[in-house]
Homo-oligomer: A and B are copies of this chain.
């Protein structure tokens, strides 16, 4: 497989770009494999987690802090690594100066004529823009944010395997939700046990979003696990969104601790039927909002749902194609989508979610656990 950096060629042509200065963590990960450990926030020893620079002769370099080399093995071998000094206990902090010196050096082969550099203005620090512009006044910046996120909508095969692995971790999490849910433990205790099983299966700590709520909180559709205690008869809504190897998985189930009411059982079946209707309709060429509409129509009698019908997943937990009323984007093979209809009524909520990858003829459901009340 070709390194993904070559996908910049289309942007290069369409936007008349000579070089690229990539600064969003998402684009850097997509193009070269490097992601930073976002779980502990921004490091105090760096200007920015990473910069990927592609010069006019297509030489590509990743500029990162020298204390962020854990992930070097994941970086595409076609990329040159350039490190700057982040922190040393026996020398005063100098990372900003060192970073900018190295960056300016990377740009040295830009040439003297007018040079157009593709950038992402929302993630490009003003200090970096100024540094480049002050040393190379022949440079002109062009916004390529949407072009870059557009590249990511259709997944490569290796990306689908990453999402498959994250989704498998969701399966393990959903089984753990059943295993540990019982009256008397708090949402937070429940979450600790569920996350424990997921981390152990992954063999490492895994960043995770989780709506894991019980009882009346299910009516609001989610929220962080709290000290709220599970009671007999409570619904437990578990929307688990782990990030394994920089790709997110996302599935949701709703179960009952004890015996469901007749109405809960009927609502569960209706949501399950709705999910199946959407999955059966997914195929190349169908509009995203047609899928959304099918679900809203089937749930209208039960009050519908006040959120999206689904969304793309990948390096971000929420990306195109969004399954929403306004989105006329046509689905294509290798798009990966979560589908998540729900009913919120009578003081409770029931939501079910699967992840699918669009195939040549329909879709494959990546999540394998069985939704059950």
In the complex, chain B residues whose CB is within 8 Å of the CB of A205: 188, 191, 224-225
Q: Which residue of chain B is the closest to A191 with respect to CB atoms?
A: B205
In the complex, chain B residues whose CB is within 8 Å of the CB of A364: none
Q: A44-B318, A126-B141 are in contact. Are A204 and B224 (CB under 8 A)?
A: yes
**A39 at the binding interface (Cβ < 8 Å):** yes
Q: Which residue of chain B is the closest to A143 with respect to CB atoms?
A: B127
Alpha-carbon separation in the docked complex, A193 to B195 (Å): 11
**CB distance A207 to B40 under 8 Å?**
yes
Taken residue by residue from 40 to 66, chain A's Cβ proximity to chain B (1 for < 8 Å, 0 otherwise) reads as 111011011000000000000000000
Q: How far is the CB of A76 from chain B (nearest CB, A)?
A: 21
Alpha-carbon separation in the docked complex, A225 to B205 (Å): 8
Alpha-carbon separation in the docked complex, A141 to B125 (Å): 14
In the complex, chain B residues whose CB is within 8 Å of the CB of A207: 39-41
In the complex, chain B residues whose CB is within 8 Å of the CB of A191: 199, 205
**CB distance A44 to B319 under 8 Å?**
yes
Alpha-carbon separation in the docked complex, A324 to B227 (Å): 41
Partner of A41, one of B25, B186, B189, B327: B25
Q: How far is the CB of A196 from chain B (nearest CB, A)?
A: 4
**CB distance A41 to B40 under 8 Å?**
no
Alpha-carbon separation in the docked complex, A316 to B123 (Å): 21
**A73 at the binding interface (Cβ < 8 Å):** no
In the complex, chain B residues whose CB is within 8 Å of the CB of A80: none
**A232 at the binding interface (Cβ < 8 Å):** no
**A129 at the binding interface (Cβ < 8 Å):** yes
Partner of A316, one of B44, B87, B189: B44
Q: How far is the CB of A126 from chain B (nearest CB, A)?
A: 4
Q: How far is the CB of A69 from chain B (nearest CB, A)?
A: 13
In the complex, chain B residues whose CB is within 8 Å of the CB of A319: 44
Taken residue by residue from 241 to 270, chain A's Cβ proximity to chain B (1 for < 8 Å, 0 otherwise) reads as 001000000000000000000000000000
Give the segment of A89-97, A271-279, A348-356 that binds chain B.
A89-97
In the complex, chain B residues whose CB is within 8 Å of the CB of A44: 316-319
**CB distance A199 to B209 under 8 Å?**
no
**CB distance A125 to B127 under 8 Å?**
no
Taken residue by residue from 335 to 352, chain A's Cβ proximity to chain B (1 for < 8 Å, 0 otherwise) reads as 000000000000000000
- A to B CB contacts below 8 Å, 11 in the list: A40-B209, A41-B207, A44-B318, A92-B326, A125-B126, A126-B129, A188-B204, A192-B199, A196-B196, A204-B224, A204-B226
In addition to A38-B42, A92-B326, 19 A-B residue pairs with Cβ atoms within 8 Å of each other are A25-B42, A38-B38, A38-B40, A39-B207, A40-B207, A87-B318, A89-B322, A89-B325, A121-B125, A121-B127, A122-B125, A125-B126, A126-B128, A126-B129, A129-B129, A188-B204, A191-B199, A196-B196, A204-B226
